[in-house]
Each structure stands twice: as C-alpha cells, then as structure tokens.
Amino acid sequence: MELAIFIVDAFTQQQFKGNAAAVVPLQQWLAPDVMQSIAAENNLSETAFIRSLSASQYEIRWFSPLTEIDFCGHATLAASYVIFKQLGGQGEIEFITSQVGSLFVNQHSDGRIEMSFPNQCPDVVEQVPATLLAGLSVTPIQVLQNRQAYFAVMATEQDVKNLSYNSEQLKLLAPFDVVVTAKANTDTYEYDFISRYFWPANGGDEDPVTGSIHAGLAPYWAKQLAKDELVAYQASARGGILFCNISNDRVLVSGFAVLYLKGTVFI
C-alpha cells in the first residue's frame, strides 16, 4: 500500500518555524495501530489523517507519537493547507471529529487559514495540584483548567520565557497537559499574550505551537483585556503567531502555513 504524505509547518510563513505536522489523506481508515505506528515513525507533534466524505467535508483524526489526540489545532491547519493547496479544495471545509464536534475552516485572500473551534474557556481551580507547582520553576498567580489542560497564569511575559519545567512532575497530571501564559509586555505591540505548552503525558515535553489550546487561551485573555480580537505568540524555540477572534460560542484561530515535504508512505 502506498499513501501520500505531506509535512507542513503551521502558524508560520517561514520554513523550519511554527509547528510541523504530517498529513496523510486516506480513502478508508487504517487500523488504529497502523496509524499510531505511522505517527510514531514520523515523530512529529502530530500526524493528521483525513478521510474525504465530499468535496468540502472530511473526517479527521490526530495522533501524537504516543497516542491518539482528541483535538489538535496546528495539524488541522496543516490538513486544511493540504486540502486547499494540494487537493484542490475551495470554499469552507468542515472537519468532523469524534470529541469536539465539527470544525469549520476558511481561507482568507492573503492565504491565512481560519479555523472555527468550540469555545473552551477554562475555569478557576480552587485546589491547585501540588505536582503542577512542583513541575514549574515559577509560581503562577492563578491556575485554571479546561477539558484539555491546566492554565498557569504568570505575572509577566519574562516569567513565561524564562520558566523551566520538570517533565516527570507534569506527567503525573495526566490526562491533562499544562499551558503557561501571561499578558504581553506593555511595550510590545506585536501580540497581546504569550504562552508555552507542555504535554509529557500525551506527546512530548514542549509543543512548538498549539492551536487547540487557544480555544481556551483566547477567551480567557479576551475577558482580561476586554477585546475580542487578539494576536498570540507561542514562545517555543521555533515560535508561532496565532490570530484569534471570539465569536459567541466559537473561537476563530487563524494562521499561515508552509509546505516542507511531499512524499509517499509505503506500508
């Protein structure tokens, strides 16, 4: 069996930045263990498998090197890029998922791809897990949680950039991941808030750019900053820019993408 494969750098306009995801279009789903093996072999944050139901409707599943993932934003962006740029897709795309409902995607005239996610604003945690505090070198000023992760809010942007973490401690928070975040410096006009994302229990130590968590970060910071349109920066070694907009019960997250590789998988 031969399968097409694409590797796309998401949330960037420059190769080797943003977050790389593999995309594998399928006619029929492969056995889960085969998809997991392909994802492990790719050894990227995620591999997205897409199955076409019609010209504008696809099923999508995401696998990290370790496990199948409920929701992945950057691999959805990468899959959308492949559909628009490589498979001839036009207009709005609907991705059907098993855990977060339908995800709707559109392409702007400038090439930026906009994804509509369910609003997953976090709630304040009254009892902060000791393992979370032990896993971070900086003590957060507030901790929140949604279905995906703990949100550790830091006092300053520099706290987020300088923070170190203990993967073994954070792994004990499974199935939840950890995002650390802060308001951007007052003299920074390029973005409104900053974050870093750690997921040792589900995929790896630090994720380069995490689209899905902005379904929670954007509505949180929209309330804090009293604005519905925000620009976010994920401060990993590769870095990534995300454009966010709050629209009722949806969070619109958009970004650019760049093709790195097109090839064939032999099974």
Q: Which of 2, 46, 68, 206 is catalytic?
A: 46
CB–CB of 62/75 below 8 Å? yes
b/e 138-150 (16+ beta carbons within 10 angstroms → b): bebeebbbbebbb
Amino acid present at 170: L
User: Is 46 among the catalytic positions?
Assistant: yes
Taking the C-alpha atoms of residue 22 and residue 75, their distance in angstroms, rounded to an integer, is 7
Taking the C-alpha atoms of residue 166 and residue 172, their distance in angstroms, rounded to an integer, is 11
| Residue 204: how many other CB atoms lie within 10 Å | 16
Taking the C-alpha atoms of residue 82 and residue 107, their distance in angstroms, rounded to an integer, is 12
Amino acid present at 30: L
66 phi/psi in degrees, rounded to 5? -105, -30
CB–CB of 176/158 below 8 Å? no
Q: Which two tokens stand for residue 143?
A: 């901790």
Taking the C-alpha atoms of residue 19 and residue 233, their distance in angstroms, rounded to an integer, is 13
Which residues are annotated as catalytic? 46
